[in-house]
Amino acid sequence: MNGTRTTERAAAPPVPADIPGTPSGAVSGWRLVVTGISARARAARDLDGLWLTPGTRAALPDGALVLAVDVHDAPRRWTITALRVTPGGLEEAGRWQRRSPLGPREVTALRALLAGDAAGHTVRVLAEPNPAPAVCRSCGEALPAGQGLAHRTPAGPVTTCRPCPVPPFGVNPDAGRCADCSGWVTAGEGLLAPAPGAPGRYRPVHHNCPDQPLPGPPLRAATWCTECRTTIAAGTGYWDRGPHHAPGHCARPDDGLPRWSLRVPARESTDWAPGQVRRIRHTPTAGEPALPEGLPGGRILADTGYMTVLAHVLDTRTTSGGTFALVRAATWMEAVPLLAAEFDQALATRPDGGTFLARQVVERICGDTGWVAEITGHDPRHGLTRKFLRPQTDYDQADARGHRGVLDAWTLRPRRVYEVSSPLGPPAKDWRAVRARLGRRARVTAEHRAFVRVTAEGDIVEITEEEVQAWLAVALEWMS
Ligand SMILES: [Zn+2]
Ligand SMILES: [Zn+2]
Ligand SMILES: [Zn+2]
């Protein structure tokens, strides 16, 4: 129980409090938020604390101890007041009248009033007495110096009389949510207003709150809604951890088909256009549900939700981060032509008794070597799993330095698909300098990459990535 109360107190917001001004008749006075009283303290100079100007408005922790001392003349006497900060403001906790300054008796009384966590108390000055004559920003009343409060705000001091609240003022330097309607206010387009429940903090506020405020910064370009996955027209939506339609403007499509967006692979052979049907690979991001099973052309590739499916392109858009496509699962009607083409490709690569081996030869150029990998399946990160094969190397035709004529050779089998990388000469003109700078293994030629397979006649032919995918889809069944 006690522990709970301590926690609540630590989390309690600071209380705005008016530190008493110097009363009429006093010749001087001082105010101190007491944070510590040592065991040997006997006088005012032995107190630890934070000094405040009389008449200041400050945010103080609940339970803080404020000491106010005023000196009067003729006869000379001291008025000592101990004040405690409560959620409702300052409360008098002790008062002494003396013919001498604060002494050991008052110090002992103050020590008894000091909160256990006083050493951690901090003070935030919200407003100070206005140093020069001013006019109340709220009610227009003329205020002689010291009669009003000059509030510390991000736009400089704003003076009001003591009872008047700070009205909206200035220009909001930062964007944020409106203190009145919670709608988004762009930097410089509104005013500043005191933040509710946070003394000394200011928030943007609209000049006139709109009927339908946007909850986040407006979107300038057209994009796709995170919630309904349909297009948001330029200048109509807002951003909140993703693009959204303006409240109440989501148009959830009634086809019931899952929609998502994806980055168009950089090495894609043809442009993506709305209306096309593509075979894509999809891994749900954290928190995103996996696509339902049984979609046209859908195949689950790993138990992480990684799958391949036929997608109908709805829209594309290119940003500095790449080209993106908004897609939905294809319907069976849309999927039929592609499924038929995949089936034809699968038939063409079907094992048909061909047993010829083929020899893939790649010449090294200035030390740059090629590689051959067998494609064995899908990999969620790299798209395809590759098994790199070891070459046989032939130096018979090599020139003296081995810059040309070194041949690496691999045996390729039918009923497999491979990826081949070969260096593409000639090397860069300054290739020796490149190696000298970046090391012996630095690449100095371009690279040619291709997917290949061996025909029944023993020829090596290039195939597309789509053919690789089609082959992988059926290969496991044929090979088992
Ligand atoms: Zn006023
Ligand atoms: Zn507003
Ligand atoms: Zn929407």
What per-residue confidence (pLDDT) applies to 7?
46
User: Which pTM value belongs to this model?
Assistant: 0.56
Residue partners of 88: CB distance under 8 A and separation at least 6? none
How far apart are the CA of 188 and the centre of ligand 2, in A? 14
pLDDT band at 477 (very low <50, low <70, confident <90, very high): low
**Contacts of range 293-298, beta carbons closer than 8 Å, 24 or more positions apart:** 295/258, 295/329, 295/330, 296/329, 296/330, 296/331, 296/332, 296/334, 296/335, 296/339, 297/330, 297/335, 297/338, 297/339, 297/342, 298/329
Which one of 8-17, 358-367, 396-405 scores highest in mean pLDDT? Answer: 358-367
What per-residue confidence (pLDDT) applies to 155?
84
Residues 159/130, Cβ–Cβ less than 8 Å: yes
Helix residue ranges, H only, 261-353: 332-348
How far apart are the CA of 166 and the centre of ligand 1, in A? 9
What per-residue confidence (pLDDT) applies to 191?
95
Question: What DSSP assignment string belongs to 428-475?
Answer: PTTHHHHHHHH-TT---SEEEEEEEEE-TTS-EEEE-HHHHHHHHHHH
| Residue 257 burial (10 A CB sphere; 0-12, 13-18, 19+) | middle
How far apart are the CA of 161 and the centre of ligand 1, in A? 4
Ligand number with the minimum distance to the CA of 166: 1
Q: Please indicate whether residue 281 or residue 477 has the higher confidence score (pLDDT).
A: 281
Instruction: Decide if pLDDT at 478 tops 60.
Output: no
pLDDT band at 162 (very low <50, low <70, confident <90, very high): very high
What per-residue confidence (pLDDT) applies to 112?
94
How far apart are the CA of 177 and the centre of ligand 2, in A? 8
Ligand number with the minimum distance to the CA of 228: 3
Ligand number with the minimum distance to the CA of 203: 2
Give how far Cα 225 sits from Cα of 211, 259, 322, 331, 401, Å.
22, 11, 18, 22, 60
What per-residue confidence (pLDDT) applies to 102?
86
Cα–Cα dist 460/228, whole Å: 47
Ligand number with the minimum distance to the CA of 165: 1
Q: Residue 91 pairs with which residues in a beta bridge?
A: 84
Task: Establish how many alpha carbons lie within 13 A of residue 350's alpha carbon, considering only the half-sphere containing its beta carbon.
Answer: 8
Give how far Cα 368 sits from Cα of 142, 339, 388, Å.
85, 40, 16
Question: Residue written as tokens 């609940």?
Answer: 62
In tens, the pLDDT along 200-213 reads 899 999 999 999 89
How far apart are the CA of 24 and the centre of ligand 1, in A? 22
How far apart are the CA of 232 and the centre of ligand 3, in A? 7
In tens, the pLDDT along 296-313 reads 888 877 777 788 899 999
Instruction: Decide if pLDDT at 6 tops 70.
Output: no
Query: What is the rounded average pLDDT of the residues 101-110?
Result: 90
**What share of the chain in percent tops pLDDT 70?**
94
Instruction: Decide if pLDDT at 193 tops 90.
Output: yes
Ligand number with the minimum distance to the CA of 167: 1
Question: Residue written as tokens 């006649």?
Answer: 457
Q: What is the DSSP letter of 152?
A: -
Query: What is the rounded average pLDDT of the residues 440-456?
Result: 89
Ligand number with the minimum distance to the CA of 253: 3
pLDDT band at 357 (very low <50, low <70, confident <90, very high): confident
Question: What DSSP assignment string belongs to 63-95?
Answer: T-EEEEEEEETTTTEEEEEEEEEETTEEEEEEE
pLDDT band at 480 (very low <50, low <70, confident <90, very high): very low
pLDDT band at 4 (very low <50, low <70, confident <90, very high): very low
How far apart are the CA of 157 and the centre of ligand 2, in A? 24
How far apart are the CA of 151 and the centre of ligand 1, in A? 13
Residues in the chain: 480
**Angle at the Cα of 284 (from 417 to 299), degrees rounded to 5?**
40
What per-residue confidence (pLDDT) applies to 190?
94
What per-residue confidence (pLDDT) applies to 382?
64
Instruction: Decide if pLDDT at 350 tops 70.
Output: no
How far apart are the CA of 61 and the centre of ligand 1, in A? 27
Ligand number with the minimum distance to the CA of 238: 3
**What share of the chain in percent tops pLDDT 90?**
53
Q: What is the DSSP letter of 322?
A: E
Tell me which of 117-121, 152-156, 372-376, 379-383 is least confident: 379-383
How far apart are the CA of 382 and the centre of ligand 2, in A? 48
How far apart are the CA of 305 and the centre of ligand 3, in A? 25
What per-residue confidence (pLDDT) applies to 299?
81
How far apart are the CA of 190 and the centre of ligand 2, in A? 9
Residues 346/473, Cβ–Cβ less than 8 Å: yes
How far apart are the CA of 156 and the centre of ligand 1, in A? 18
How far apart are the CA of 250 and the centre of ligand 2, in A? 22
Which one of 139-153, 275-289, 345-359, 442-456 scores highest in mean pLDDT? Answer: 139-153
Residues 360/370, Cβ–Cβ less than 8 Å: no
Beta-carbon neighbours within 5 Å of ion ligand 3? 225, 227-228, 245, 250
Tell me which of 18-22, 31-35, 352-356 is least confident: 352-356
In tens, the pLDDT along 119-154 reads 999 999 999 999 999 999 999 999 999 999 999 998
Instruction: Decide if pLDDT at 269 tops 50.
Output: yes
Ligand number with the minimum distance to the CA of 193: 2
Query: What is the rounded average pLDDT of the residues 184-194?
Result: 93
How far apart are the CA of 385 and the centre of ligand 1, in A? 75
How far apart are the CA of 54 and the centre of ligand 1, in A? 20
| Residue 250 burial (10 A CB sphere; 0-12, 13-18, 19+) | middle
Tell me which of 69-83, 97-111, 338-352 is least confident: 338-352
What per-residue confidence (pLDDT) applies to 354?
61
Element (DSSP H or E) covering residue 111: helix 104-113
Ligand number with the minimum distance to the CA of 184: 2
Ligand number with the minimum distance to the CA of 208: 2
Ligand number with the minimum distance to the CA of 240: 3
What per-residue confidence (pLDDT) applies to 312?
95
How far apart are the CA of 140 and the centre of ligand 1, in A? 6
Residue partners of 299: CB distance under 8 A and separation at least 6? 307, 308, 309, 473
How far apart are the CA of 207 and the centre of ligand 3, in A? 28
Instruction: Decide if pLDDT at 369 tops 70.
Output: yes
Residues 122/115, Cβ–Cβ less than 8 Å: no
pLDDT band at 108 (very low <50, low <70, confident <90, very high): very high
How far apart are the CA of 207 and the centre of ligand 2, in A? 8
Mean pLDDT of the residues in the chain: 87
In tens, the pLDDT along 39-59 reads 998 888 899 999 999 999 999
Ligand number with the minimum distance to the CA of 182: 2
State the maximum Cα–Cα separation within the chain, in Å, rounded to a whole number: 122
Give how far Cα 239 sits from Cα of 175, 178, 181, 216, 220, Å.
13, 16, 17, 5, 10
Cα–Cα dist 432/434, whole Å: 5
Instruction: With CA atoms as reference, report the closest residue to 57 among 131, 162, 210.
Output: 162
Ligand number with the minimum distance to the CA of 163: 1
Residues 168/155, Cβ–Cβ less than 8 Å: no
What per-residue confidence (pLDDT) applies to 388?
95
Instruction: Decide if pLDDT at 5 tops 70.
Output: no
Sketch the domain layout of the chain as residue ranges. 2-128, 220-248, 258-346, 358-479
